[in-house]
Amino acid sequence: MFDWEKQQWMLEAWETLLLGNEVHLEPTEVAARLLYLVGGRDSVFNREISMSSLPDPTVLPTLLQHARGSLSEKRTLHLSFLLSTLYEHGIPMLEFVAVNVPQSFLDSLRKEAVRKVDELSCQAPWCNGFQLRGTLVKTGTTVKRRKSGEVLLYYLACLKCGCEYALDEQGELKERTYFISGHKLLRQLSPQILGLKDMARQTGMTEDKIRRCLAYFCTRQGTGTFAEPSSIISSKLVRRFLDEVRAGSKLKSNGNMSSS
């Protein structure tokens, strides 16, 4: 069904942008105005209100970096995102262009302590979010003590590749999955080492973890993980593993699986 109301809003928005010869806003101004308006015009920035007001809360870290001018790499704040967000909140483009953001809001925006998660990035070299700040999201777990006694705080995950992380007590980022460490270990193996038992002996990883790494990377062919001609993973071993999975075999029941 054609949405006349939305089309009328869009038409007025484009007229404001195209006919307003004096409209020139820097990315920092655009982001600050948007946060101010969707936050209900409060005199100070409120993270919780902003997160609940945005259609996709995961964009808040990027919006904040735009507003603060703290992006490590230049990125564009897409006009389509601006238009859709303003429309969903019933804010005319003319109001957006004319609004004056109070200095108290700008000060609180810049002085707000930058959360650790906003500065962290995925460390998987095959991930599209590799070393891009703000690519990790917080999960439900806050604090957990491992059997070893190690305490992990602030659990995080990368939505692009599935790797999971946490901060230790020193604030250092730790991988909770073992795909990154497995990637490094498996790539160091000699091409002649093909069986799971040999791979486990050489890497110190359990056979179960190696199987899971194989399964993980098999779903990511073409990402530059093990796609090189010198790949240390036997194609026969991979096919055997996939056949076993399709047949419904348990992962731990195939300990003697080899490429021969």
- What's the whole-number mean pLDDT along residues 215-243? 59
Between 6 and 110, where is the model more confident? 6
Residue bearing the bigger pLDDT, 23 or 110: 110
Cβ 168 vs Cβ 155: under 8 Å: no
* Mean pLDDT, rounded, of the chain: 78
The lowest-confidence range among 51-55, 61-65, 69-73 is 69-73
Q: How confident is the model at residue 78 (pLDDT cuts 50, 70, 90)?
A: confident
Full-model pTM = 0.46
**Per-residue model confidence as pLDDT tens digits over 20-39:** 667 788 888 999 999 999 98
Helix axes 27-38, 60-68, angle to 10 degrees: 130
* Distances, alpha carbon 52 to alpha carbons 48, 67, 156, in Å: 6, 18, 20
Structure-model confidence comparison of residues 229 and 234, the more confident one: 234
Quick one: pLDDT at residue 48? Answer: 77
